[in-house]
Amino acid sequence: MNTAITLSKLSDMLGGRLAGDGDRVISGAAAFASATASDITFAAGAKYLKNLGGTDAGAVLVPRDFEGDHPNTIRVENPQAAFAAVLAHFYPRPRPRPGIHPAAVIAGDLVVGEGFHAGAGVVVGEGCRFGRAVTLHPGVVIGGGVRLGDDVEVFPSVVMLDGTRVGSRVIVHAGTVIGSDGFGFAPDGDSYVKIPHTGIVQIDDDVEIGANNAIDRATFGRTWIQRGVKTDNLVHIAHNCTIGADTVVVAQVGISGSVTVGRHAILAGQAGVAGHLTIGDNAIVGPQAGLAKSVADGETVSGSPGMPHRVWLRVHRLLPRLPEIKKELDELKKQVARLMAGDPR
């Protein structure tokens, strides 16, 4: 497939403002340092904008207010986002052709739109309803009564258990389990009684779920992943959580049951969140933070236990000096003891 395009057409596609040779043909996209004359790259930060002579790229995406020198630039609001659109143009994700592999096991009552693909080893339970252009890669298991919207792609070995609801334009990466029982057990003397989980998982439009996530079904009601959420690999979201729209959850985050996360929050790698907390809109939880209390809108917290980031920075700077501080404190205690005993030394 020939994806080569002139700069003028590429600028129109991006809604940008071209400065340079509109007839120049671009056939690929590459990183700033490795781009060639047939490639386009992007420069968003000051480091790159000051060094446009350091790239051999045939064209550069730059911020709309950029006034520097380069033979060919396209000025856009967000160079990185525009570069993502360029990458999608030159390197579109391959999708298998529609069809059902002979080794797939599909319930006879499946209702599905056009463009459906099911790879080898796919299993689809009874009562499912899928939209258009749904792709199930090999080994995917879909339980009963699952709903998938349009343009959903599910990678190998994903399991979606009974009743899961998934919107449109959702991507689920390999090995993820959606709709497993939550970790709920009632103590009964020295043993535990399993609490049935009768709810579902709901995943809204434009969500991308990383590899090897575990998203538990609700005890009652739903575990809800709202529109535009992006999760990294190895994330656990427990029963009855709500993850607000456009929130980012980075690798190895663990979120306990009944946590509510607001819109456009960031949970950095290996953060842990205790149950029944609320994390506000636009909040940031730092890497390896351990949250034992809720976080307000717009607040940034770090450390374990989680604390305001500026406080954590002061604490962190003190940690290497603790042995020295203890030595000084012990000496002061000795001096105070001598003074109280009437020893003027």
Annotated active-site positions, please?
239
Residues 6+ apart with CB under 8 A from 120: 101, 103, 104, 138, 139
Distant-in-sequence, close-in-space partners of 271: CB < 8 Å, separation ≥ 6: 250, 253, 254, 285, 286, 287, 288, 289, 290, 291
Residues 6+ apart with CB under 8 A from 327: none
Q: Are strands 300-302 and 290-291 parallel, antiparallel or unpaired?
A: unpaired
Q: Evaluate whether 41 touches 35 at the Cβ level (below 8 Å).
A: yes
16-40: buried (b, 16+ CB within 10 Å) or exposed (e) per residue? bebbbeeebebebbbebeebeebbb
| Burial (Cβ within 10 Å: 0-12, 13-18, ≥19) of residue 82 | buried
- CB of 237 closer than 8 Å to CB of 256: no
In this structure, how many other beta carbons lie within 10 angstroms of the beta carbon of residue 94? 5
CA angle, 28 then 135 then 4, to 5°: 15
Residue 259 class from Cβ within 10 Å (0-12 exposed, 13-18 middle, 19+ buried)?
Answer: buried
